[in-house]
Amino acid sequence: DAKTTQPNSMESNEEEPVHLPCNHSTISGTDYIHWYRQLPSQGPEYVIHGLTSNVNNRMASLAIAEDRKSSTLILHRATLRDAAVYYCILVNNAGNMLTFGGGTRLMVKP
Amino acid sequence: GAGVSQSPSNKVTEKGKDVELRCDPISGHTALYWYRQSLGQGLEFLIYFQGNSAPDKSGLPSDRFSAERTGGSVSTLTIQRTQQEDSAVYLCASIGAGRGSETQYFGPGTRLLVL
């Protein structure tokens, strides 16, 4: 099974950019890279996803390595509300989540 | 409704009892997932329904766990003879057509405590 690896935790200062890494060295060619985040006492919410090209949306940017074996979620200006656990997830084209990373707990300091 | 809903929000039960957890997915979504999240842990996949296909039950931890999806909409996760290690948050998510390019929408979860 494809697996993802993320750091357990990261810290950031408010209003600074945050780069959250994820390694997925056994990703297959048709696996999508999804990022979700989970705020305390809530279900996960979608952040962004991509296949090969870098992606931007109103929440974040996703930078995908050329070989697709790693990706980085970029929060351009961290706010206190961005403090959450961020999950990097591989999803095949049948919609099956192949595996979960352990998630990165992001702490944002004022 | 606008999103995925789950009931009950919280459930406390005694060891050995059966429990049923309900998930109402977003209307029209053909794919539905159940996950379990133990305290401080990541999400553990349990089961996946996609349209009329046979469900992917590969994540169910034991035969005490089962799930149904009636009429392609509401799903019920049943845990028989509950054990203390079943205590966790049970999350449901739905997705439009079950393709990898689509977003999963998660419900708020059911917090199960087995005494």
> What is the band of A1 on the pLDDT scale with cuts at 50, 70, 90?
low
A52–chain B Cβ distance below 8 A for any pair: no
pLDDT score of A60: 95
Closest by Cβ to A95, choosing from B4, B31, B42: B31
Cα–Cα distance measured from residue B61 to residue B68, given in angstroms and rounded to the nearest whole number: 16
Instruction: Please name the residues in contact with B38: beta carbons below 8 A apart, sequence gap of 6 or more.
Output: B44, B87, B88, B89
Cβ atoms within 10 Å of B72's Cβ, excluding its own: 14
Contacts of A46 in chain B (CB under 8 A): 103-105
CA distance B110 to chain A (A): 10
CA distance A32 to chain B (A): 6
Task: Report, as an integer, the average pLDDT of B25-31.
Answer: 89
Per the CB < 8 Å rule, is B42 touching A44?
Answer: no
Instruction: Please name the residues in contact with A35: beta carbons below 8 A apart, sequence gap of 6 or more.
Output: A20, A22, A46, A47, A48, A49, A60, A62, A73, A86, A87, A88, A89
CB neighbour class for B6 (10 Å; exposed up to 12, middle 13-18, buried from 19)? buried
Contacts of A30 in chain B (CB under 8 A): 100
Contacts of B99 in chain A (CB under 8 A): 93-95
Handedness of CA B15, B16, B20, B21 (dihedral sign): positive
Name which residue leads in pLDDT, B63 or B31: B63
A2–chain B Cβ distance below 8 A for any pair: no
Cα–Cα distance measured from residue B105 to residue B95, given in angstroms and rounded to the nearest whole number: 6
Contacts of A93 in chain B (CB under 8 A): 99-101
For A28-56, the pLDDT digits (tens) are: 888 899 999 999 888 899 999 999 999 99
On the question of pLDDT at A97 being above 70, the answer is no
Q: Identify the residue among A1, A46, A68 best suited for mutation to test binding to B, counting B beta carbons within 10 A and taking the highest.
A: A46
**Taking CA atoms, what residue in B is nearest to A49?**
B101
Name which residue leads in pLDDT, B114 or B101: B114
* Contact status, residue B19 vs residue B82, Cβ threshold 8 Å: yes
Per the CB < 8 Å rule, is A43 touching B33?
Answer: no
Task: Report, as an integer, the average pLDDT of B12-29.
Answer: 95
Cα–Cα distance measured from residue A40 to residue A110, given in angstroms and rounded to the nearest whole number: 18
For B42-94, the pLDDT digits (tens) are: 888 899 898 888 898 988 999 999 999 987 789 999 999 999 999 999 999 98
